[in-house]
Amino acid sequence: MVWVTGSVLRTGFLYAQAPLPATALRVVSPNGVIRVDLAMDGRGMLTYEVNYVKDGRTVVAVPRSELGISRDDADLSRGLEYARLISERKVVDEYRMIHGKRAHCRNEAREKVFRFRNVEGKLVDIVFRAYDDGVAFRYVFPGEGVKGHGATGNGEDSCLITGERTSFAIPEGTERWIQQYTSAYEGLYPLRTSGKGDGEDQREWGFPVLYKVKDKQVWVLVTEADVTRANCASRLCNREDGEVYRVMMPEKEVAAALPWRSAWRVVMVGSLSDVVESTLVADVSEPSKEDKTDWIRPGAVAWVYWAYNHGSKDYRKVVEYVDLAKRMRWPYVLIDWEWDRMSNGGTIEDAVGYARSKGIRPLMWYNSRDSASSRAGLDPYGRLQTHTARCREFEWLNRIGVYGVKVDFFEDDRQKEMAYYTDILEDAAKYHLMVDFHGATIPHGWERTYPNLMTMEAVYGAEWYAYAPTLTKSGASHNATLPFTRNVIGPMDYTPVTFSNAAFPHTTTYAHELALSVVFESGLQHFADRPEAFNALPAEVQRFLMTVPVAWDDTRLVDGFPGKRVVIARRRGRGWYIGGLNGEDHAQKLELRFGFLGDGEYELQLIADGGTDKGFAMKKLTVRKGSHISVDCLPRGGFAATLKPRG
């Protein structure tokens, strides 16, 4: 038998714990495939390891990595001893999502809560859950702090969180897709095989992180979830050791009223389809705070900004996009920045009124900052920064008939910004307003807790065609990477489906662009091109864009590899929509297997690459569950398809 031992120094003496069997600090998933083992060394430092059982073999998904957290009045990252098992249970939770990968979700795991104490008797509980598709863990402070201490200053027991020792070991040579940290999370996820950044001192990385266990078909995605106003968001840093990615706070301290709990550290593990289809970020997040949600309606949006930067201050231009939404049967139009300076035939109230007269629901853009702190100086700003200001503005939006807000230019990942996001969501819900966060942090499961959160940017999206040549060079591979990285963790406002060119041209095909409407998931899907570009499309392509849903009953990864190719099938009702992307600069066949179908025959309507990058090839086929077809794709090409049961 293997024993886990620990020792701590107490008042000058070495205190040795009684040995524990290894299974005492082990959590196993309900299906037995995933196992997490904790261990403690002679210095009282705590570590964990995640293993995955595949085809009868045990694969180390997360090599031995460190645990621990520090606060201003206690170091709970070393000198620990195991106190006891607080609780053990099976988590079973079923819930529904208004939008996302699937409508009906099942949150099932085995959970253990372990208690540890340091030499001063301060306590920390570590909650570990083992799921069939991953592991989640968080820190909990049950004990007392100092009355009125720290930033709370309200007489509660409190402390200041000063850092974590939590790490994720990724050995050298491991293939990984990881973004260098920026506060807006707008960067690429290039394939790397080492912990080096693009510069010698660029060793900070944003969530999520995807990697493939070396020489194994086991994939791991690391992120965080359930960040609340009691936390900051975090990032990873491997500056000390290239193979050790340690959790890093964006500020020196975070105020914590006790009892307190950290965000969940989330590790998805399994096949690539297990990762892509996982709802683990939402699973561990708090349930919905809204009882009545019939006013929350996902949908497609006509968006003026991509083609016309200043279009929203032009009443006539906004009218064009309202008319586009009407023709394309899209329920929403977004009126972007400068609407407070609207002219050329009408005001913002006139534009909202015109949209409503056509049966189109208007959404409106806001800068989250005031004029002094706005990074870009875009207006309107200074209208949302206090509860009083928000309520005044939201009441006005209700009065004129606006259905949602896009809020842009958040500062960073500090605790005060997490509180600001939450305040906006809570106040918007009171006025039945849906929310889109731009220039923002990544999803943390908030779309489950606050279902009026429809989407978030945090992505290097299509608007960058106006700013830099990056997507011209690498747009196809980037698009074929996002379904395995950024879009895994929550809705993504990429603003897809742009056929014409902005300042920098596309090199993706029209069929590739069409496929993005299915491949990318977002509760509000902003279709961003010019009206004349949509009007010039073949009738079959227009009909596809008129009917493609944005909220799904199920999602399946059919085939793919990050940056090279992806085929995703999404179900709405009895029908399926499929999107396929060729991420490479040479032609390739994308394989379409129909193992996800039920019994019976289905009619497949395929829209693939034609003879040129602007052409389409249409085909109708009858397929069954065992069918298999190959779709020829041009370089940087793709396809879109629908599947409907016959009879």
- Structural contact between residues 39 and 26, judged by C-beta atoms closer than 8 angstroms: no
Provide the residue count of the chain. 647
Q: Which of 296, 365, 378, 380 is nearest to 526 (CA)?
A: 365
Tokens 């460190």 correspond to: 66
Residues 6+ apart with CB under 8 A from 32: 53
Q: How far apart are the first and last CA of the chain?
A: 61
CA 337 – CA 407 distance, rounded (Å) = 10
Is the four-CA dihedral 139, 141, 147, 153 of positive or negative sign? Answer: positive
Residues 6+ apart with CB under 8 A from 539: none
* Angle, CA of 21, 26 and 30, to the nearest 5°: 135
Amino acid type, 627: S
**Partners of 93 in the β-ladder:** 107
Among candidate residues 75, 253, 447, 463, the one labeled active-site is 463
Could you check whether the bond before residue 259 is cis, i.e. omega within 30 degrees of 0?
A: yes
Helix or strand (DSSP H, E) at 619 = strand 616-623
> Exactly one of 164, 314, 336, 408 is catalytic; which is it?
408
Nearest partner of 283 among 37, 126, 97, judged by Cα: 97
The alpha carbon of 552 is separated from its chain's Cα centroid by a whole number of angstroms, namely: 16
Task: Mark whether 529 is an active-site residue.
Answer: no
Q: How far is CA 339 from the centre of its chain?
A: 29
- Cβ atoms of residues 302 and 330 within 8 Å: yes
* Amino acid at the residue 331: P
- For 503-516, the DSSP string reads SS---S-HHHHHHH
CB atoms under 10 Å from CB of 104, counted, come to: 11
The answer to whether the Cα torsion of 271, 275, 278, 282 is positive or negative is: positive
Residue 588 phi, psi (nearest 5): -155, 160
Task: Please state, in angstroms and rounded to a whole number, the distance separating the CA atoms of residues 47 and 505.
Answer: 49
Is 488:275 a contact under the CB 8 Å cutoff?
yes
Cα dist from 152 to 73, 156, 253, 572, whole Å: 15, 8, 12, 46
Q: How far is CA 198 from CA 179, 204, 396, 473, 474, in A?
A: 10, 11, 47, 18, 17
Q: Is 215 among the catalytic positions?
A: no
| Helices of type H across 358-482 | 387-400, 415-430, 446-449, 470-479
Single-letter code of the amino acid located at 48: Y
Residue 146: beta bridge partners?
158
Return the H-helix or E-strand segment holding 52.
strand 46-54
What is the distance between the alpha carbons of residues 295 and 499, in angstroms, rounded to a whole number?
Answer: 32
Radius of gyration of the chain (CA): 25
Instruction: Tell me the sheet residues that pair with 435.
Output: 405, 453
Q: How crowded is the C-beta side of 489, counted as CA atoms within 13 Å?
A: 29
Active-site residues: which are they?
408, 463
